[in-house]
């Protein structure tokens, strides 16, 4: 599926109109429509904003299949981002003990 079609599919799955999503990411409805219909390319910055508005990451957007992170996993990943390398190593060692 191309980027535009995928955006349209995800937007509709979230129950958002083109106008609502465009407003959330500060672009015009016409621009969003042109992107969804593959008339205009999309910038990475705009795609990041759209993904955020849809509650997903760029990685999730580009991942093939129906791979979705639960809210719990998403929270864990957000918390991991702020840890130092030493803290990550210590956490990893702790997690190994839970197996």
In angstroms, the Cα distances linking 40 to 9, 34, 70 are 17, 5, 32
Domain spans, the chain: 1-66, 69-99
Q: Does the pLDDT at position 23 exceed 90?
A: yes
User: Rounded to whole angstroms, how far apart are CA atoms 25 and 78?
Assistant: 22
Q: Is the pTM of this model over 0.75?
A: no
Instruction: Give residue 71's pLDDT.
Output: 80
CATH number of 1-66: 1.10.260.40
Q: Does the pLDDT at position 59 exceed 80?
A: yes
DSSP label at 81? Answer: T
Residues 32-44 have pLDDT tens digits of: 999 999 999 999 9
Nearest to 61, CA basis, from 69, 20, 23: 69
- The token pair at 64 is 């093939």
């Amino acid at each position: 599926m191309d980027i535009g079609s995928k955006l349209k599919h995800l937007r509709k799955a979230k129950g958002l109109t083109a106008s609502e999503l465009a407003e959330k990411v500060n672009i015009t409805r016409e621009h969003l429509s042109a992107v969804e219909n593959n008339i205009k390319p999309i910038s990475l910055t705009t795609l990041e904003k759209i993904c955020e508005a849809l509650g997903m990451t760029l990685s999730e957007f580009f991942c093939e299949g129906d791979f979705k992170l639960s809210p719990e996993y998403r929270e864990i990943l957000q918390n991991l981002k702020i840890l130092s390398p030493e803290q990550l190593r210590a956490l990893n060692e702790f997690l190994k003990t839970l197996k």
